[in-house]
Amino acid sequence: MMMRLDEKDNVAVVLQDGRKGENVKCGKDHIVLLSDIPFGHKCALSDIRKGEQIIKYGCPIGYATEDIQRGVLVRENNMKGLRGRGDL
């Protein structure tokens, strides 16, 4: 199961460890995981293009450093954070 924190979000928080190929419920939607996603991490709710904002809590928290498919783990390997950087 996953939880979208705000209707504007394009990522959701995974509420238990998810395995690749698993069909996971998020509200009324179901998403097939394309990668293993540990508890508490983010999953893309839609395809996110390189350079697009990652939205969580209804606010941008970073941007995609590569194309991210729906159902993929969103983490520092495919996004660049905007918070706590000190250089922006």
Q: What is the structure's pLDDT at 88?
A: 55
- Read off the pLDDT of residues 36-54 as tens digits, 9 standing for 90 and up: 999 999 999 999 999 999 9
- For 6-40, letters b (16+ CB in 10 Å) and e give eeebbbbbbeeebeeeeebebeeeebebbbebeee
Architecture per CATH, 2-81: Roll (2.30)
Threshold 0.75, pTM exceeds? yes
